[in-house]
Structure 1
Amino acid sequence: MKNSLFTLAIFGLATSVALAQNNVASTATTGNNNTAQVNQVGAENEGSIDQAGDRNNASIRQGRQGLFRPISNNGLATIEQAGDNNQASIKQQVLLAWSTAQNSHSISQTGNRNDASLEALTGGNSGSVEQLGNRNIASGIQGISANKLTIEQNGLRNEASVNQIFSFDGLAEIEQVGDANEGDVNQVGNSNFGKIEQFGSGNDSYFGQAGSNNEASVVTYGDGNRTVGAQAGEGNNQRTEITGNGNDFSVTQLGDDNFSYVNARGTGPGANGLQSFNSDLSILQEGNENEISGAMGGNNNSLTISQDGTGNLVLGGGAKWDAEGFTISGNNNVGSIMQVGTGNSATMSMIGNGNTATISQR
């Protein structure tokens, strides 16, 4: 009897989910104390919300969060908001970690006190957030594999975050144009790619990746700068490009066969117009067969590189984007490379002004 009841319960759940397929919901409001909400359970549902002005708010939920809760596969969720006190949210979820998701979610906000969130669990999800102006903030979170999330922010108090947990072959991109900026990308898993691109103002950055064969890229065009990057695992690559102003970057890589490239002479690999300004740079690699290559332009410079392990290189003689080891061009320079282990090699060059250079191998 218990088995029969259990079977009936499962059948009931399957039936209720089956009945909730291919739904389409849409709501549009134009002015004043807006608010809207869409709840859908099942596969291939579409939810949309469109709001124009005043107190805005919005939410879409497809599926319910938590294990063995009603699912949402192949769902489409879209929110658009135009002005005033915006906010928005979207949640999508599938039944189990190994089931198919393929949900799509996007939020577009235009002005005033923006916010935005987004959340999806399990793989194949695709999402985007676009915010144009005022007190931006945005977030993310996608889980398991092959997820994609892009966040774009234009103007004023930007912030952003992306967090792809247990992610494989994931893609996370943040683009910020002007004002207070920040950044963030966190990816846990293998073969992920994370990118932060900032065009002017407060900057900041950050990225964190744990796993193997991940790639991270931070490109900052001017103003406050600061980059903090960390990768743990094997075969990871990290690239930092900074044009000028406040600078202060640090990179940590833990594991074997990792590569770190820093260019603070302009943008793009190789020689560029020299820029950097207040400088400062720290790179730490712990593990074997790791490589570092890079260069900094002028002004207050400083450089600390630490490698602990065997067969590590601060590359000289070309390759890996040809920064020829590590080069510091002009002004107050200093430079320190410490390698602990065997079979290591380091090349450092300085061009002009205060100079000091130390390479220690033990």
Structure 2
Amino acid sequence: MKTLISAISLMLLSAGLAVAQDNSAASVQKGTGNEVIVSQTGSDNEAASDQDGTDNYVIMNQKGAGNLADITQINFAGFQRDHEAIINQQGSGNEVDSRQQGGFQDLLISQTGEDNYAVTVQISSSNSYEISQEGNRNNADVRNHNLRNDDEVTVNQLGDENSITVRQRGNGSDYSASARQGGNGNSGTITQEDGSSNSAGFWISGDDNSTAQEQVGSGNRQRAEITGESNTYSVNQTGESNRLYINSRGTGAGGNSSRSNSSEFTAEQVGSGNLASGSMGGFGNDFSLFQVGDDNLVSGGAGLWDASGFTIEGDGNTVTISQMSDGNSATLSISGNSNSSVISQD
């Protein structure tokens, strides 16, 4: 897969199509090896690019308010591959709408300001997304309709009241999704359906955030790193041999420096041979884990972020572990005052 050009390079571009205020730019290309570069400064600008073919390339740089970037890279004659699209927007009320179809596509979106919106759709396999948003009330919506393998999604948001939605669907394997949110009042969802050996990770720092992750398939892995206060996290894994790791105390992998207080964590694993591990620190937290199936574990070990069972450090925390069916095992370690734990195995 081709390496994405850094977003910094966008700021250095002086060539291409430059338009003044209230102008629009549109490009339609067919064939192989085409290139579009658009630079807009001002407000109420629009830029649209439609490419049909292979090995095409788009750069759009917009600075101002009310800008819109619309990109389509698709091969109506057959399988499309090796396209790149890079969009940089600075200002308020910006929007990106991107669609790529085929394999080995790369997309990089950078938005700075408030009320920005990025919606992206990729169809087929071995595609790569990277979205960065800085500001408040931004939204990132990523949809992978993947018939094969190896799609990668990375979303980073810094600010308050932002939202992330990632959906990956297909019958292949090795999809990955990574989301990071820093700020307050943010929400995020990662859903991976009908695949195997997929991975999802959420890194959250701030207060009053809400996060959910769901995986359907086998051999999947989920990870959550959470710090702050009054956060809500829920996870669901359905299938066999899935792995779940939760760290909310700041001493595990991930390098967080603060703890989590007054937060709620709910996890459910349905199937056989699943494993959950992690740690929780701070005060007033509530953790509930439900495992339904045979040979499920609350344990850990090398390669699973080095957590050994589930560990609680702090005061006034509550843990409930329920394991249904046969051959299950749970390891729980508690230190601190006024903590409560319940382990039920049926």
Normalised to the residue count of structure 1, the TM-score between the two structures is 0.86
The residue type equivalent to 1:195 in the other structure is: S
Q: What are the residue-to-residue correspondences of 1:58-207 with 2, within 5 Å?
A: 58-63=47-52, 72-95=53-76, 99-166=79-146, 167-189=148-170, 190-207=173-190
**Residue 295 (1) aligns with residue 284 (2):** no
- Separation in 1 of the partners of 2:72 and 2:57? 11
Normalised to the residue count of structure 2, the TM-score between the two structures is 0.90
Report the alpha carbon displacement of residue 332 of structure 1 after superposing the two structures with TM: 2.1
| 2:295 aligned residue | 311
- Separation in 2 of the partners of 1:342 and 1:250? 25
- Separation in 2 of the partners of 1:84 and 1:353? 53
The match for 1:242 among 212, 226, 232 is 226
Instruction: Please provide the CA RMSD for this pair.
Output: 2.0
Whether the 8 Å contact between 1:40 and 1:62 is mirrored in structure 2 is: yes
- Separation in 2 of the partners of 1:200 and 1:115? 21
| 2:5 aligned residue | none
SS of equivalent residue, structure 1 residue 79: strand
- Separation in 2 of the partners of 1:244 and 1:50? 40
Moved more, 274-283 or 256-265: 274-283
- Separation in 2 of the partners of 1:316 and 1:186? 28
SS of equivalent residue, structure 1 residue 41: strand
**Residue 38 (1) aligns with residue 27 (2):** yes
SS of equivalent residue, structure 1 residue 138: strand
Structure with the largest fraction of strand: 2
Report the alpha carbon displacement of residue 347 of structure 1 after superposing the two structures with TM: 1.5
Unaligned segments of structure 1, at least 5 residues: 1-24, 64-71
Whether the 8 Å contact between 1:219 and 1:240 is mirrored in structure 2 is: yes
Report the alpha carbon displacement of residue 194 of structure 1 after superposing the two structures with TM: 0.6
1:194-239, CA deviations, whole angstroms, 9 ceiling, x for partnerless residues? 1001122222121011210001111112222221000010110111
- Separation in 1 of the partners of 2:124 and 2:301? 41
Moved more, 204-213 or 161-170: 161-170
Whether the 8 Å contact between 1:145 and 1:169 is mirrored in structure 2 is: yes
Report the alpha carbon displacement of residue 267 of structure 1 after superposing the two structures with TM: 6.4
SS of equivalent residue, structure 1 residue 160: strand
Report the alpha carbon displacement of residue 259 of structure 1 after superposing the two structures with TM: 0.2
The residue type equivalent to 2:96 in the other structure is: A
**Residue 253 (1) aligns with residue 237 (2):** yes
- Separation in 2 of the partners of 1:135 and 1:272? 28
Report the alpha carbon displacement of residue 124 of structure 1 after superposing the two structures with TM: 0.8
The residue type equivalent to 1:109 in the other structure is: Q
- Separation in 1 of the partners of 2:256 and 2:39? 45
Whether the 8 Å contact between 1:270 and 1:323 is mirrored in structure 2 is: no
- Separation in 1 of the partners of 2:142 and 2:254? 30
| 1:20 aligned residue | none
The match for 2:307 among 323, 348, 351 is 323
Whether the 8 Å contact between 1:334 and 1:354 is mirrored in structure 2 is: no
The residue type equivalent to 1:28 in the other structure is: A
- Separation in 1 of the partners of 2:294 and 2:251? 31
Structure with the largest fraction of helix: 1
| 1:265 aligned residue | 249
| 1:356 aligned residue | 340
The residue type equivalent to 1:359 in the other structure is: I
The residue type equivalent to 1:88 in the other structure is: A
Whether the 8 Å contact between 2:221 and 2:243 is mirrored in structure 1 is: yes
Aligned residues: 328
Unaligned segments of structure 2, at least 5 residues: 1-14
Report the CA distance shift for 1:260/1:301 in structure 2 as closer, same or farther (over 3 A). Answer: same
Structure 1 stretches of 4+ moved >3 Å: 270-274, 316-319
- Separation in 2 of the partners of 1:120 and 1:126? 9
- Separation in 2 of the partners of 1:95 and 1:268? 48
Percent identity (aligned): 38
Whether the 8 Å contact between 2:86 and 2:108 is mirrored in structure 1 is: yes
Report the alpha carbon displacement of residue 96 of structure 1 after superposing the two structures with TM: 6.1
Bigger Rg, structure 1 or 2: 1
- Separation in 1 of the partners of 2:275 and 2:73? 41
The residue type equivalent to 2:274 in the other structure is: N
**Residue 28 (1) aligns with residue 18 (2):** yes
Whether the 8 Å contact between 2:230 and 2:264 is mirrored in structure 1 is: no
**Residue 209 (1) aligns with residue 192 (2):** yes
